[in-house]
């Protein structure tokens, strides 16, 4: 009984932490002004926000029922896929904006996103 | 014997991961489920072997575990830092910058892990790789000194990854 109560309180605290972090992620998306800076808020704050919500779900299921491991899988896939979606958004930014502050790579000719084969150059002109 | 094992499990680590994922999906650790997971873990890499031509190179599992612990801790710290920046700093006082990181790593797997780590950790998102794969383009949210960020990433993550992938 005692443990059940403690577990439920821990789950409540994780829910609140998760909700706060998720909200900060949303605020960051709205507040920051440059597309690349906006990418920072959801990629980082989102992972801990959702992580805390999943932790709450896991604690709740362990305390009140048989317990569940599915949340571990969700967390693992989230950690693997979040950087990839961030990378795709960054690539779209590089494609659609000519960023004057973009540095040149020190050893190679250009960045791979901007490296268009000569045969395809006329496709991106229009 | 060794070649029989190689034939049965061309990617032993993938076999293990598939078995663990299957068991977690079932939400029920019983001998039957673990055995079925192992059967899947052997059949799926065998069926898709044509798309996995390279044998994975060796890596040190122990160092991988300590690396993952460091990264998990950094993710927690990074989240609090970024949340703090978002809530308290004005847009004008932020100095976003591009950081170029020259890579010593050559293995695609190691570069992928490094790029993922950079995206998940303090104030940085990895954006692109140079055309021949010798440098990594990273965007930093608030970065008065790009050289310090570059040195920290090289020292904290890349040096450890070099020890993991031999």
Judging contacts by C-beta atoms under 8 Å, the chain B residues touching residue A90 are 125-128, 139
Per-residue pLDDT 10s for chain A (126 aa) are: 788 888 889 999 999 999 998 888 888 888 888 878 888 877 777 778 888 899 898 888 888 877 777 888 888 888 888 888 888 888 888 888 777 777 777 777 777 777 777 777 777 665
**CB-CB neighbors (< 8 A) of B79 in chain A:** 21, 44-45, 47-48
Place of tokens 């779209």: A92
Which residues from chain B sit within 8 angstroms of residue A69, using beta carbons? 23-24, 27
* Non-local CB neighbours of A82 within 8 Å, separated by 6+ positions: A43, A46, A47, B119, B120
CATH 3.40.50 at B61-164, yes or no: no
The predicted structure's pLDDT at residue A15: 93
Domain map (residue ranges) of chain B: 2-51, 61-164
Supply the ipTM of this predicted assembly: 0.76
Q: Give which of A101, A87, A21, A94 is closest to B119, Cα–Cα.
A: A87
State chain B's maximal CA–CA distance in angstroms. Answer: 66
Give A 41-70 residues with CB within 8 A of chain B. Answer: 41, 43-45, 47-48, 68-70
From B7's Cα to the closest Cα of chain A, the distance in A is 29
C-alpha dist (Å) from residue A88 to A36, A91, A92, B125: 12, 5, 6, 11
SS3 state of residue B89:
coil
Is the Cβ pair A40, B102 closer than 8 Å?
no
Q: pLDDT, tens digit, for every residue of B4-50?
A: 666 666 677 778 888 888 888 887 778 888 888 888 888 888 887 77
Residue B64 has pLDDT above 80, yes or no: yes
pLDDT average, residue stretch B61-75: 86
What is the tens place of the pLDDT at every residue in B127-144? 888 877 788 888 888 877
Tell me how far apart the alpha carbons of residues A44 and B123 are, in angstroms, rounded to a whole number.
8
For testing the chain A interface, which of B102, B141, B146 should be mutated: the one with the most A CBs within 10 Å?
B141
Query: pLDDT tens digit string along B19-29?
Result: 888 888 887 77
């Amino acid at each position: 009984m005692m443990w059940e109560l403690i577990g439920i309180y821990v789950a409540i605290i994780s829910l609140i932490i998760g909700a706060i972090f998720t909200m900060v992620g949303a605020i960051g998306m709205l507040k920051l002004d440059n597309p690349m800076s906006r990418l920072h808020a959801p990629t980082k704050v989102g992972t801990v926000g959702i992580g805390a919500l999943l932790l709450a779900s896991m604690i709740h299921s362990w305390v009140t029922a048989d317990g569940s491991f599915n949340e571990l899988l969700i967390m693992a896939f989230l950690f693997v896929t979040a950087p990839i979606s961030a990378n795709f958004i960054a690539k779209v930014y590089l494609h659609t904006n000519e960023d004057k502050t973009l540095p040149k790579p020190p050893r190679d000719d250009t960045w791979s996103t901007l490296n268009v084969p000569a045969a395809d150059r006329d496709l991106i002109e229009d | 014997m060794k070649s029989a094992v190689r034939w049965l499990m061309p990617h032993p680590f993938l076999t293990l991961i598939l078995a663990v994922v299957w068991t977690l999906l079932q939400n029920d650790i019983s001998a039957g489920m673990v055995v079925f997971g192992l059967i899947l873990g052997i059949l799926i890499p065998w069926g898709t072997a044509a798309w996995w031509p390279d044998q994975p190179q060796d890596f040190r599992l122990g160092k991988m575990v300590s690396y993952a612990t460091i990264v998990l801790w950094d993710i927690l710290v990074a989240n609090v830092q970024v949340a703090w920046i978002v809530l308290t700093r004005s847009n004008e006082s932020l100095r976003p910058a591009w950081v170029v990181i020259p890579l010593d790593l050559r293995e695609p797997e190691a570069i992928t892990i490094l790029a993922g780590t950079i995206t998940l950790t303090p104030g940085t998102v990895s954006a692109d790789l140079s055309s021949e794969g010798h440098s990594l383009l990273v965007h930093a949210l608030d970065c008065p000194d790009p050289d310090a960020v570059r040195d920290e990433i090289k020292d904290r993550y890349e040096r450890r990854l070099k020890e993991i992938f031999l």
